[in-house]
Amino acid sequence: MNKSVCVVLSLLILSIIGGVAQSQTVGMEQRAVPLDQTFDAQNFTKLEISPRYGNLQLQPGESKELTVTIKNKEKKPITVSPHVEVPPYGEYVMEKEWVTVTPASSEIPAGGSQNFVIKAAIPADASVGYYNAMVAFTDETIPTPYPQPFPNYVHTFSLSVNVWTPPKVQIQKPYIQDQLEAGKEYDYKIKLKNTGDKAIAINPKISQQDQMYGPYGAVESAFTDDALEITSPKEIASGASVEVNVHVKVPADAKGSYRGAIDLGIDDPSIARNEWADLVRLELGVWKQPAEPFVKTFVTQEASPVTIEVSSNLFEGIYKYLAAGGAGTKNAKEPSFTVTLTGSENNAIPLNKTKTMIKGGVSLGGTGMFPPWESDSEGIYTEMGTQYVETYTADVPAGNLKLGIMPWNTQQFEYTITLGNK
């Protein structure tokens, strides 16, 4: 390779490298985002704020204090001057004067910490509602490409306050749960007491808030709202109690269950923003007694003793316990069975009821069964459900036999047929 060729090749390589370098520079310039550059260029003061959020539930006239700790992570002292900012939006707008911060200012040495006490004091005439405020410990804000209605402060503590008052009307029992029979009528009373100093109007009616839903949408109910009739006074005098009467006329062909709610329509500002607060829930299961017994046909090859066991479902009992807390329902009854046995000539074979057994399910708790605050109850027996087992014996001839079981007050049952001596 001669010298001139080497020079040409070197120039060529240099031009390629130069071209790549130039294209990279252009590329970088094209990717640059002014906002990021501005944001990165900001040298925000490094302050550790703990906690960053606080939530208080206070009644009008009450106050409460929270402590927030600011730690200076800089290598120089920082002066912190907290000020309260209230976003000009939200359900209710808090007054700045409701929140005070002490000390008003503090110089925190490098690596040092300072506690600030944030006090929220709610005036006696404040409306119930959710309020928000922010304590900004510095004036530093995060720049935004567009004007913002409210500065985006960097060093903040967010405070939310739920201002509430206890309901003036007490609902003695906010639910009605019962087991009904198709074709029968039932009456329930909802007792209300006005603890306020003024009469309060009520207007109970069926609510559409608490409908039954399944995986494919609304679930068909055992009966429609027309089956319920509600009568009540129009208002509750101060200090007085009244009864709302609910009459349920269960259609003769009703099956399944009815789940709904009565909106009491209580004119009480303290519950006005909680649409669930004056609902009385209705959970009414409709028990339809079968007209015919369940029949099981079986064959015996030779004359022999037979033992028949019929039992209600333990899991049904467990479900009922979990749902009903073991308290049961007003009209629920104990399960029982009417058991018959007939031979091939349709002749009744006498059955001897030899025993009735009550079987229980007991739990000692365990992970996930109870909420964490009930973990101390682990290891203490909790009866979960009860199963009723009836045992019958008979001497049967060879041939076809029919076992008839009529269940009473149980949705599910099991049976066993044991041929020969048990």
Partner 1 sequence: MKYVVLLIIAAVLIAGCLDTSGTKPAWAHDVSWQGDIPKSTAVVEKELWTQISPYNMEYDAVNITARNGSNGLSLRVAGVSNSAGYPDIYDFTYSKGTLTRTGYMLEAILPQDREAAIAIAMQDREVASAGVAGIPAVRRILPETSKKYYTPVTLLSVTWQGVSVLVDPQELKIVKVWKGGGTEK
Question: Which residues in this chain contact partner 1 in the complex, by CB under 8 A?
Answer: 57, 164, 166-167, 170-175, 177, 209-210, 213, 259, 271, 274-277, 279, 281, 283, 319-320, 322-327, 329, 368, 370-374, 376-380, 382
β partners of residue 283: 177, 259
The two structure tokens encoding residue 345: 């000539």
Residue matched to tokens 């206890």: 166
- Which residue, 185 or 376, has its beta carbon nearer to partner 1? 376
Q: What is the nearest approach in angstroms of partner 1 to the Cβ of residue 65?
A: 14
- Which residue, 229 or 376, has its beta carbon nearer to partner 1? 376
Tell me which DSSP letter residue 305 carries. Answer: E
Q: What is the nearest approach in angstroms of partner 1 to the Cβ of residue 290?
A: 24
Q: What is the nearest approach in angstroms of partner 1 to the Cβ of residue 81?
A: 32
Collect all residues with Cβ–Cβ distance below 8 Å to 357 and sequence separation of at least 6: 388, 389, 390, 391
CA–CA dist 235, 230 (Å, integer):
15
Q: What is the nearest approach in angstroms of partner 1 to the Cβ of residue 164?
A: 7
Q: Is 9 helix (H, G, I), strand (E, B) or coil?
A: helix
Q: What is the nearest approach in angstroms of partner 1 to the Cβ of residue 59?
A: 9
Q: What is the nearest approach in angstroms of partner 1 to the Cβ of residue 23?
A: 54
Residue 72: CB atoms within 10 A of its CB come to: 23
Phi and psi angles of residue 306, each rounded to the nearest 5 degrees, phi first: -135, 140
* Rounded alpha-carbon distances, angstroms, from residue 394 to 13, 162, 337, 419: 107, 70, 17, 10
The two structure tokens encoding residue 47: 């302050």
- Environment class of residue 155 by beta-carbon count within 10 Å: exposed (0-12), middle (13-18) or buried (19+)? buried
User: What's the count of helices (H) and strands (E) in the chain, helices before strands?
Assistant: 3, 30
Q: What is the nearest approach in angstroms of partner 1 to the Cβ of residue 327?
A: 5
- Which residue, 82 or 167, has its beta carbon nearer to partner 1? 167
- Which residue, 174 or 404, has its beta carbon nearer to partner 1? 174
- Which residue, 294 or 370, has its beta carbon nearer to partner 1? 370
- Which residue, 177 or 391, has its beta carbon nearer to partner 1? 177
- Environment class of residue 70 by beta-carbon count within 10 Å: exposed (0-12), middle (13-18) or buried (19+)? buried
- Which residue, 25 or 241, has its beta carbon nearer to partner 1? 241
